[in-house]
């Protein structure tokens, strides 16, 4: 479970990147976080993961405050950043082993999880190579594997489907659904509106730092014309005033 | 504007950002760094001035005052040659910006020219610290007129050209032939080893070259013969030195003209060769080989080792250091090269130094033993702080630094792990100085005391380097060379280490007893280290939060 309580963040003390964000993401939900470029999605995720500090308000992950109880909060989530170009000089397996050490995953368990994740993402033959030799999609896959290695309760994924091939995208979406079905939380940002329509239990749309709409797909559509596509709703909600 | 100038401006802009963050904060950090460098650099300037003023009358009496200018020009040229190879390999071949430049409609000579100008401009910082003070003090001591200073200015601007072009030509030629295999990882390793080996050989090459000694005086023969050989090998150097000696006369202007003409001719030659060889050596170099072989259960089990967080972090950092060519050459390479050159030079010239006088430190009187101890420690301070390994542990992470903020490991623990590679590599300097001390038969007890003190010095300078980097990291680099090239931080760290060393001199003034000096210096460094650790513990969170 994730709780944002009146969270505000501004840059240079002037422009508010996120303004009074108040939101709860429950266990058992796949939650889609939508918004146009520069709306405040990445800033929100950076505050959520402890990368950026919060000016006002607070964020709790599974009951742990990301500012005051940061170690416990960080241990309870797995995070996939928006750019997978990390640790390019390490081999895939070395990176995963490093993540296993960081999250203290026992050796037998990490071997089992790496094997099953590598099989799901079709990455078995690449784990012995340097990440630098991977395509964008393969890098994304290995980052997802690293984030899920310690089987965290909360998944925080920043545009996780970008660059994935259809099979890997299908696998990841299935894994997200299965994880939520176990009563756990998946919070992800995306620009893929069709994915949101098919996968998400609830959605929030952020624009100019403020949440402009939250709810299930049915609730959102109920506020507008029932027959409109999410794309049309999104464009209408986020159009420049 | 021509492509060359556009590229030069871009490279300089990318390569000269010292830290990120708000403009006002950056300005105050830079002011603080300049202040520290000035304070720490004052003793250096004092020693240079005193050295020139003391040596000048002595050499003049022998009619050999020209040795002063020849020495400094030779030293600068040699340093540029030795480290030029590493810089050229990294900056011209293994910097990631070449991947962006390759598809653009830019000629090879334009890229090479822009990169060459950038490297030369960066070289001015080193020249300003060493070459200028010597030449200016020489001019003052010899009461020389304005034409001498005009010559100095032109030499200052063009001196790095010829040695850098030599390094560039050698590298372009070799890269053309090395870069034909498919295994790019192996090529990278070969190039890395080649770079280190050639830098080392370049230093020792002149010991084997034939050349007349400028002096017959035995005390100066060793140095002068090296410089004479160097100036016979690099002709522009001889003309540059002659231009200084004959400054103001027609002959002087002629020599200066020849110096300028040779420097320009070398640049033109580099551009000519670049058009033919540069891209051929470059194409495909950034690719990484991959086997795509599924690991069997045994291979998987042997790779998946469970380690403590600090050990795992250390292993990860070491792998990145050793596998990233610019980090390998500039960080690791320099930390290996400096002690290797020091030990190599002493061993090669050992016979000459010992000849006749059976020089030994065994019987140094008690009064001088503390001084010897401090020389031991100062040698390690100098050698250990001239590589960029210590001042870039965070900068090297680049955008990966974000990772440090979302994993469940305390910042203190992560930062501690990041200091370990610096401590490890800088410890090689202790080994080098110990070997030299052993060769000169330094008393065993004094040597052990030196090793203990140097261990503390290495920890101290690694921590100050980390703190400097933490205050002013340059994380926005798009080019690994930029991350490890020498900058203000390295000078600031050297200044801090020298300042800590000046405490040592204070104790030497008070006591001549080596044991008392040892205990006092030990306590001072221990206290300083504890204070730095406390500083990190208290401020790590705040400083890390300012990143990104």
Q: What is the pLDDT of residue B215?
A: 38
Distance (Å, whole) CA B127 – CA B124: 5
What b/e readout covers B94-114, taking b as 16+ CB neighbours within 10 angstroms?
bbebbeebeeeeeebbbbbbb
Q: Provide the number of CB pairs (under 8 Å) joining chain A to chain B.
A: 103
Tell me what pLDDT residue B210 has: 44
Q: pLDDT value at position B304?
A: 86
Percent of chain B at pLDDT > 70 equals 80
Give the pLDDT band (50/70/90) at residue A105. Answer: very high
Residues of chain A positioned with their CB less than 8 A from the CB of B545: 53
Confidence of residue A180 (pLDDT cuts 50, 70, 90): very high
User: Is the model's pLDDT at B199 over the cut of 60?
Assistant: yes
Q: Residue A241 has what pLDDT? A: 47
Given a cut of 70, whether residue B202 has pLDDT beyond it is no
Distance CA B280, CA B81 (A): 24
Mean pLDDT of A29-52: 93
Contact assignment for B309 to A102 by CB distance below 8 Å: yes
Report yes or no: B300 and A123 within 8 Å, Cβ to Cβ: no
Among B306, B405, B548, the residue with its CB nearest the CB of A101 is B306
In the structure, what pLDDT confidence band is assigned to residue B389 with cuts at 50, 70 and 90?
A: confident
Bridge partners (DSSP) of residue A11 are A15
Among B291, B293, B410, the residue with its CB nearest the CB of A71 is B410
At B40 the pLDDT is 63
Q: Is the dihedral of CA B526, B528, B533, B534 positive or negative?
A: positive
CB neighbour class for A142 (10 Å; exposed up to 12, middle 13-18, buried from 19):
buried
Instruction: Note the pLDDT of residue A145.
Output: 95
| Residue pair B203/B119 in contact by the 8 Å Cβ criterion | no
Does residue A119 register a pLDDT over 60? Answer: yes
CATH of A2-76+153-238 given 3.40.50.2300, 1.10.760.10, 3.20.80.10, 3.40.50.300: 3.40.50.300
Model confidence pLDDT, tens digit, residues B135-192: 999 999 888 999 999 999 999 999 999 999 999 998 898 888 776 555 556 666 676 7
Chain B contacts to A (CB-CB under 8 A): 22, 185, 288-295, 299-301, 303-309, 311-313, 315-316, 319-320, 323-324, 399-400, 402-403, 405-410, 545, 548
pLDDT category at B213 given cuts 50, 70, 90 is very low
CB-nearest to A101 from B303, B312, B400 is B312
Label residue B422 by pLDDT band (50, 70, 90). Answer: very high
ipTM: 0.92
What confidence tier does B219 reach under pLDDT thresholds 50, 70, 90?
A: very low
* pLDDT of B268: 95
pLDDT band at B221 (very low <50, low <70, confident <90, very high): very low
With CB atoms and an 8 Å threshold, state whether B301 touches A102: no
Counting beta carbons within 10 angstroms of the beta carbon of residue B346, is it exposed (0 to 12), middle (13 to 18) or buried (19 or more)?
A: middle
Mean pLDDT of A135-161: 93
In chain B, residues with a C-beta closer than 8 Å to the C-beta of A45 are none
What does the pLDDT read at residue B516? 81
Split at pLDDT 50, 70, 90, the class of A13 is confident
Tell me the chain B residues in contact with residue A128 when contact means C-beta distances shorter than 8 Å: 291, 293, 295, 299
Q: How far apart are CA A184 and CA B146, in angstroms?
A: 79
User: What is the C-alpha R_g of chain B?
Assistant: 24
B103 pLDDT exceeds 60?
yes
Give the separation between CA B155 and CA A223, rounded to whole angstroms: 77
Task: Give the mean model confidence (pLDDT) for residues B233-243.
Answer: 85
Distance CA A88, CA B323 (A): 10
User: Do the Cβ atoms of A75 and B408 come within 8 Å?
Assistant: yes
User: Where exactly are the structural domains of chain A?
Assistant: 2-76+153-238, 89-152
Q: Are B12 and B91 in contact (CB under 8 A)?
A: no
């Amino acid at each position: 479970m994730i709780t944002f309580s009146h969270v505000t963040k501004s840059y240079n003390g002037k422009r508010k990147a996120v303004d009074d964000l108040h939101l709860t993401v429950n266990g058992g939900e796949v939650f889609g976080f939508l918004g146009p470029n520069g709306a405040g999605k990445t800033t929100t995720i950076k505050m959520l993961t402890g990368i950026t500090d919060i000016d006002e308000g607070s964020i709790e992950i599974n009951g742990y405050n990301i500012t005051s109880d940061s170690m416990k909060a960080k241990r309870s989530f797995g995070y996939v950043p928006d750019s997978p170009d990390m640790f390019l000089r390490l081999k895939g397996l070395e990176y995963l082993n490093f993540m296993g050490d960081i999250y203290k995953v026992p050796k037998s368990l990490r071997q089992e999880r790496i094997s099953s994740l590598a099989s799901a993402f079709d990455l078995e033959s690449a784990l012995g190579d340097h990440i630098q030799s991977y395509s964008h999609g393969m890098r994304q896959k290995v980052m997802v594997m690293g984030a899920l290695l310690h089987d965290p309760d909360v998944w925080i994924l920043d545009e996780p489907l970008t660059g994935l091939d259809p099979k890997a995208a299908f696998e990841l979406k299935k894994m997200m659904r299965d994880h939520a079905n176990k009563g756990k939380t998946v919070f992800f940002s995306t620009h893929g509106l069709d994915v949101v329509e098919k996968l998400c239990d609830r959605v929030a749309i952020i624009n100019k730092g403020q949440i402009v709409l939250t709810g299930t797909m049915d609730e959102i559509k109920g506020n507008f014309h029932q027959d409109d596509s999410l794309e049309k709703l999104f464009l209408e909600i986020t159009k420049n005033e | 504007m021509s492509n060359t100038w556009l590229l030069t401006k871009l490279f300089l802009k990318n390569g000269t950002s010292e830290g990120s963050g708000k403009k006002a904060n950056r300005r105050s950090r830079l002011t603080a760094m300049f202040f520290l460098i000035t304070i720490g650099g004052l003793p250096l300037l004092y020693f240079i001035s005193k050295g020139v003023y003391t040596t000048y009358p002595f050499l003049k009496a022998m009619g050999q005052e020209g040795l002063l200018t020849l020495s400094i020009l030779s030293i600068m040229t040699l340093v540029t040659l030795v480290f030029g190879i590493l810089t050229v390999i990294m900056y011209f071949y293994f910097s990631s910006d070449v991947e962006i430049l390759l598809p653009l409609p830019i000629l090879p000579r334009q890229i090479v020219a822009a990169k060459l100008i950038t490297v030369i401009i960066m070289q001015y910082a080193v020249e300003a610290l060493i070459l200028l003070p010597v030449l200016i003090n020489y001019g003052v001591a010899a009461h020389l007129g304005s034409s001498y200073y005009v010559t100095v200015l032109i030499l200052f601007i063009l001196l790095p050209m010829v040695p850098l072009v030599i390094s560039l030509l050698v590298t372009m030629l070799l890269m053309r032939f090395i870069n034909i295999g498919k295994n790019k990882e192996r090529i990278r390793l070969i190039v890395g080893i080649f770079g280190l080996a050639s830098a080392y050989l370049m230093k020792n090459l002149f010991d084997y070259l034939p050349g007349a000694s400028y002096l017959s005086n035995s005390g100066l023969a060793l140095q002068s013969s090296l410089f004479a050989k160097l100036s016979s090998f690099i002709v522009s150097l001889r003309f540059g030195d002659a231009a200084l000696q004959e400054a103001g006369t027609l002959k002087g202007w002629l020599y200066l003209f020849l110096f300028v003409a040779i420097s320009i001719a070398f640049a033109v030659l580099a551009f000519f060769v670049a058009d033919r060889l540069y891209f051929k050596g470059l194409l495909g170099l950034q690719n990484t080989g991959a086997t795509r072989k599924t690991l069997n259960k045994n291979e998987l089990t042997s790779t998946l080792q469970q380690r403590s967080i600090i050990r795992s972090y250390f292993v990860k950092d070491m792998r990145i250091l050793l596998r990233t060519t610019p980090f390998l050459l500039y960080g690791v390479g320099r930390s290996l090269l400096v002690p290797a050159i020091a030990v190599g030079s002493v061993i090669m010239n050992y016979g000459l130094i010992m000849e006749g006088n059976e020089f030994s430190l065994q019987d140094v009187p008690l009064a001088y033993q503390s001084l010897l101890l401090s020389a031991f420690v100062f040698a390690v301070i100098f050698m250990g702080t001239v590589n960029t390994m210590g001042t870039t542990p965070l900068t090297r992470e680049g955008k990966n630094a974000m990772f440090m903020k979302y994993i469940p490991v305390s910042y203190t623990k992560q930062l501690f792990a990041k200091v370990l590679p610096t401590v490890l590599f800088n410890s090689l300097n202790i080994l080098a100085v110990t070997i030299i001390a052993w060769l000169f038969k330094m008393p065993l007890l004094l040597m052990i005391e030196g090793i203990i003190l140097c261990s503390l010095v290495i920890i101290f300078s690694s921590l100050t380097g980390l703190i400097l980097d933490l205050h002013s990291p340059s994380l926005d680099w798009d080019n690994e060379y930029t991350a490890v090239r020498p900058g203000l931080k390295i000078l600031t760290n050297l200044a801090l280490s020298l300042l800590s060393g000046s405490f040592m001199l204070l104790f030497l003034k008070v006591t001549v007893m080596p044991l008392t000096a040892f205990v006092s210096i030990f306590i001072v460094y221990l206290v300083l280290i504890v204070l730095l650790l406390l500083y990190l513990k208290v401020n790590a969170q705040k400083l890390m939060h300012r990143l990104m």
